[in-house]
Structures are given as structure tokens and as C-alpha cells.
Amino acid sequence: MSWKVSPTIDSILDKGDDFTSITRDEALTLLSLELDSREIYALMETAHRMSCRQFGNKAENHFHIGINVAPCPYNCSFCSLTTQAGIFKHAIEFSEADIQKWSVDAACQGADALNIMTTGTFSFERLLAVGRLLKKTVSTPLVANTRDITHKEAEMLLDAGFVGAYHAVRLGEGRDTPFDRDKRIRTISVIKDVGLCWMNCVEPVGPEHRPEEITDLMFLAREHGATYSGVMRRINFPGSPMAAHGMITEREMARMVAVSRLVMGDAPRAHCTHEPNAVSLLAGANLFFPEVGASPRDGEVDTGKGRGKNIRLCRGIQAEMGWNPDLPSNCFEAKAHIVCDSAGTKNSP
């Protein structure tokens, strides 16, 4: 029995292996590969080898801190933090002490970045205050995850200590969300114009999303020069209006992660998957998001006590799969070394 892949797939994978960005039609061909085919494993192997070569075997952990819980009136269909979901009845903002402790603990455990997430109506001034506080507390790079912003607001994020901003055009934008796709893309341009790193993910993927939709967002990340991209699947919280669609499996997500990696070519500094899983680490992913605080995928106030994975678990999965989380981050300039005692307390920046 021959174990060769088809010439068509082999030709596409050769382009990826040379860091030559593949075409949309080629990406769609790869997304249609059967999960049990020998071609899918050749695809994953190619994506994995690309990331090992480009990222130097570095595993990244960008620590998500959701700093507030609120019944958000924007009512994105995939989010548990909405009025229509009915899970959270009252607004809760985590204290500065909580945020500082999470941040110091994350820094001491080797986090490569802190992703500070807010709900859509959260005070922008309060987000800036958190940035200024954490800039004094840890040397770990800060990434904002908030609403659409103006040039002035992006400059304010820089002044407050943020070096990056996560912003995605979501699958179903304008259908499953009340937001305008073009405005989301304008915010991406704003982020890059002021000198912030733009962080991205193709998300939140469900079985209802057509390959063409998914591919379009992969190429948007490539064309706008995302610092990292990748794939996040939709998680259906209890009572989710999207529950009827079901969820994709981690194997299906790994296929998408691999295709996205070939699409991104030599552009990214890392490649992400969410939630943390081992199979995507064999498909080109090297970036995980450990989590605490609010999460749009959880019904717990603090996802660290629910779905969220901690840094030690993420680092363990990465090490088991041959990635090294102790190497310096590729996403940012070198940060100051943080010295911690055996209890995980920061002694000096």
C-alpha cells in the first residue's frame, strides 16, 4: 500500500513548507480534507514544522484576565456575559488587589503576556487605570481586549502601558453580533497605525460556519499583518442560543489551525489555539491562553474556578508535546526577568 499523499495536496504543502502563502482555493481544499486521511496528517506535520522553525520551539502563554462581569446589552449570541444569556444578573468588577495578584502570579509562572479583557460597556478610563497599575506592578507585556476604539483611545492605551490589542472580526459579525464588520476592520487599522501589536484569532468557530467564511478571516489576518492568529472554537455555555448547532471537535479545530498556519506563512510571531489542547500543538499552534476572571465561554464568575486552564497546566501540556515555554517570547521585545521565591512571590523586576 502506498503512503504517498495526492500530488495536489503535496504541491500545496510544499508551498507552505517554503513559507509561500497559499491561495484561498488551496486553503479551501485543505479545509475539506477528511480527518482520517493521510493528507490531514501531512498537513498537520507541515504546519508543525513551520512553527518549530519560525518560532524556535518556543511555547507562548498569554494570560487572560477578565476584569469585569456584567449582563452586557450587546447580546452577542455566543457570549455568556450578555443580558439575554441571563447567567449574570449584576455587574461585578474584580478588585485591584485581585488583578494585581493574578498578574504577579502569572508573571512568576512565566506568562509571556497579560491579556486584559473587558465587556463592551466597561469604562475605558477604568481599563486605562488597570494598565497604569499593572505597568508599575509587573514587566510582563500588556494586551488590551476591549471594544472598537478611536486613534486617540489607541494612543491612550499606549500611554497607559499596553503594547498590544486583541481585536477580531468574529464569524457571524453583524448576524450573531450587533457590530459592523467594516468598523471592526477600521479598529484593526487604528491599532496598527499607533504602533500597538494587533493580536487576532479566527473565532468563535462552530459547525454552522461555512469554509468560505472561515477562510476569509484567515486571509484577513494575513493581509493585515496580525502578530499572531489561529483558531478558537465556540464553547456552548448552558442555555446558549447557539447550542442547537453543536460544537466542532478539537480534531476539527486542529485541521483549521494547520490551514491557518499555512495561510499566515512567514507573517506571524506565534500561532494560537483556544481552548488549550494537545492536538493543535501538532498542527502549528504554539500559543495558549490560560484564564482567570470573566470569560464569555463560562458560567462561573471566575473562570479560573470553572473552564479556565491555569498556566502550570498549559505549560505542562506544551512540554509534553515538545514545546519549550521557558524560552523568551517571540511576540514582544525582551522583557525584564522576574525573580520569584519558591512560593511564587515576586521579589524584583
Domains of the chain: total = 1
Residue 211, in any domain of the structure: yes
What's the CATH number where 174 sits?
3.20.20.70
Is residue 65 in some structural domain?
Answer: yes
Residue 342 belongs to a domain = no
State the pLDDT at residue 4. Answer: 84
The β-bridge partners of 114 are: 63, 142
User: Tell me: the pLDDT tens digits for 230-269?
Assistant: 999 999 999 999 999 999 999 999 999 999 999 999 999 9
CA 105 to chain centre: 20
Predicted local confidence at residue 196, as pLDDT: 98
Residue 349 has pLDDT above 50, yes or no: no
Q: How confident is the model at residue 2 (pLDDT cuts 50, 70, 90)?
A: low
Rg (CA), the chain: 19
Q: Which domain holds residue 312?
A: 10-328
Q: How far apart are CA 335 and CA 60, in angstroms?
A: 14
3 part of a folded domain: no
pLDDT digits (tens, 9 = 90+) for 104-145: 999 999 999 999 999 999 999 999 999 999 999 999 999 999
Domain assignment present for residue 260? The answer is yes
**150 domain residue, yes or no:** yes
In a domain, 101, yes or no: yes
The answer as to whether 347 is a domain residue is no
